[in-house]
Amino acid sequence: MSKIGYNTAALGVINYQMAMDITANNIANVNTNGFKASRPSFADLIYTERNNNNEETQFGHGVRIQKTDMMFEQSQLRETGRELDFAALDEGFFAVLTPEGDVTYTKDGSFYITQHPDGYWELCNEYGAYVLDYEGNRITVPFMGEDSTDIDAAALAEMVGVYTFENPYGLDQVGDNYFIATQASGEAVSDPEARKKQRYVEASSTNIANEMSKVIEYQRAYQLNVNMVKTHDELENIINNLRN
């Protein structure tokens, strides 16, 4: 008996499970600042022809997730009133230097200050990565005066660099809300004209209503494919019993 139906349904089970995993990750990050949701794109597989009573009949071989797309549309801005919070608007990113020495990019602009061993203060994020300016240098936090503890918010806002990419959809996600440049995205370019807002952070792009509708859609498709696997298995058992 042909295994086409069984394998087709099994591929459906596997790929709809992967789609559910992507959706689950989106929902889990609904409160992650600057998070960009992903969307799976499906494609059909190869078709073959079989001679059936002297007529050529095409048989498909299932479905696969061809790629995942990140949704880089501007998310809602949430006002915090905190002078160390920034939102990079549109397709802008902040650049940070990680403790491992790697330059990565993020949409999460919730920053902090940390004291250098020499006594001055630098801008960093919650993971201890240093925020970079437009020249790719670490930012020394400016204060209102030599003995003041009040941050010069206006001067700091001018120093925080915003970077753009020719194709941000080609960026790779590497965890901790970080993205890295790839050949598909092109190199990061500092863009003083890119918009940013101080005392705001960009919220997650996850839309709970959309994600829940996807959960229902993928769950039903998954269940239908599971039923097809069971049905095909039962038919094969019947045929084997008849042979015996």
Chain mean pLDDT for the chain: 89
pLDDT surpassing 80 at residue 242: no
Average pLDDT over residues 193-200: 93
pLDDT surpassing 90 at residue 1: no
pLDDT surpassing 50 at residue 185: yes
Digit-coded pLDDT (tens) for 124-172 = 999 999 999 999 999 999 988 777 788 999 999 999 999 999 999 889 8
Q: b/e for 128-137, b at 16 or more Cβ within 10 A?
A: ebbbbbbeee
* pLDDT for res 236: 76
Give residue 123's Cα distance to chain centre: 25
Average pLDDT over residues 199-209: 93
- Ranking 12-26, 61-75, 104-118, 206-220 by mean pLDDT, the lowest is 61-75
DSSP letters for 31-65: TSTT---EEEEEEE--EEEEEETTEEEEEE--EEE
Give residue 198's Cα distance to chain centre: 24
DSSP bridge partners of 178 = 175
* pLDDT for res 49: 73
- For residue 2, how many other CB atoms are within 10 A of its CB? 10
Considering just the CA atoms, what is the radius of gyration of the chain in Å?
A: 26
Average pLDDT over residues 70-97: 92
Q: Taking the complete model, does pTM exceed 0.85, yes or no?
A: no
Beta carbons of 66 and 15 less than 8 angstroms apart: no
Tokens 């709809």: give the residue.
16
pLDDT surpassing 70 at residue 52: no
What's the CA gap between 97 and 99, in Å, rounded? 7
What's the CA gap between 76 and 91, in Å, rounded? 13
Beta strand spans in 53-198 (E): 55-60, 63-70, 77-79, 86-88, 94-97, 103-106, 112-115, 121-124, 130-131, 163-164, 172-175, 178-180, 189-190, 196-198
Q: Place 192 in a pLDDT band, splitting at 50, 70 and 90.
A: very high
pLDDT surpassing 80 at residue 243: no
